[in-house]
Structure 1
């Protein structure tokens, strides 16, 4: 039947995600995606057009799950506990795999072409949603009384720190140091009483 996909999109996207994570956007070819997914290149082209479209669709699904998990980690009654749980989640996420997979969004951001507005937009959407998740926890009456800086600045700082942590993991691979750095930021943002 024309127009009906003859493959399981969820499974194909899960396999494509692993390829993009391992090789990066730029180094991944349509042949890599076809081999990983078990879907012929022609079928991938017919269904999605090009590699960028596949990546954007895969990344949006990944980002949705990541943000949901970040929101779950932030569900703590105390703002310090929420930030600590968030950083534990974020560090755990980039340390997954053997060797550690790192951070897909940071990896992609470092290699996107300025002429790739769709990739930039996908990354911006994820980071904006992550910032909004943090702001929902930091911009409460209780949290605002404890924060050393305004909630919006704190949310931006935390998102920026997660990108820096991802880079430091790639360079040093030291989980203990990453946790100590995150803990120092929590202490600076929400001083102990």
Structure 2
């Protein structure tokens, strides 16, 4: 039957994600994807057309899952706890593996600009979704009362910090340092309460 996948698409996409994460977009070939997924190149071409389309589908799944994890982390009654958990998810994602795998979206953003506009748009959409999720949490009366800057600015600063943390992980490879940096940012954007 035409259009029926003769392979486990979820499994293939997970394995393709690992390859893109390890090698980046440019250095990944269709042969790499065929080897890692166990799906012949011809079947991949028939199913998706080209490497870019495979990347788009893989990245969209990755981004949806990551944004969903951060939204769950932000679902806390206390703002400080929500922000700490948000950064915990981000840091855990980039420090997984041995060696640590780093941040896929930051890697793609740096690697593919500007000659791959579709990839840039995917990363932009993911970052916008993260910012919107943060803004929703920060733009409540209780949260606004705790912030030293407006909610939209705070959301943008936090998302920008996640990109900086990803770069610092590549340089220092020290999760404790990343957590301390995130905590310092949280202290900076929230009013200090005297206990």
| Both proteins in one fold, TM over 0.5 | yes
Aligned match of 2:22: 22
Aligned match of 1:131: 131
Whole-angstrom CA distance in 2 between matches of 1:75 and 1:103: 23
The alpha-carbon deviation at position 2 of structure 1 amounts to 2.8
The alpha-carbon deviation at position 189 of structure 1 amounts to 0.5
3-state DSSP of counterpart to 1:26 = helix
Aligned match of 1:171: 171
CA displacement, residues 46-98 of structure 1 (integer Å, 9 cap, x when unaligned): 11111111001000000001001000111111111111111111111111111
Aligned match of 2:141: 141
Matched length: 193
3-state DSSP of counterpart to 2:93 = helix
TM-score (norm 1): 0.97
Aligned match of 2:158: 158
The alpha-carbon deviation at position 7 of structure 1 amounts to 1.0
Whole-angstrom CA distance in 1 between matches of 2:85 and 2:191: 16
Q: Which runs of 5+ in 1 are unaligned?
A: none
Whole-angstrom CA distance in 2 between matches of 1:170 and 1:150: 31
Aligned match of 1:88: 88
CA displacement, residues 133-179 of structure 1 (integer Å, 9 cap, x when unaligned): 11111111100011000000000000000000000000101111111
The alpha-carbon deviation at position 27 of structure 1 amounts to 0.7
* Correspondences of 1:8-157 after superposition (within 5 Å): 8-157=8-157
Q: Which runs of 5+ in 2 are unaligned?
A: none
**Once superposed, which parts of structure 1, at least 4 consecutive aligned residues long, lie more than 3 Å away?**
none
3-state DSSP of counterpart to 1:24 = helix
TM-score (norm 2): 0.96
Aligned match of 2:6: 6
Whole-angstrom CA distance in 1 between matches of 2:138 and 2:113: 34
Whole-angstrom CA distance in 1 between matches of 2:90 and 2:168: 13
Whole-angstrom CA distance in 2 between matches of 1:93 and 1:3: 34
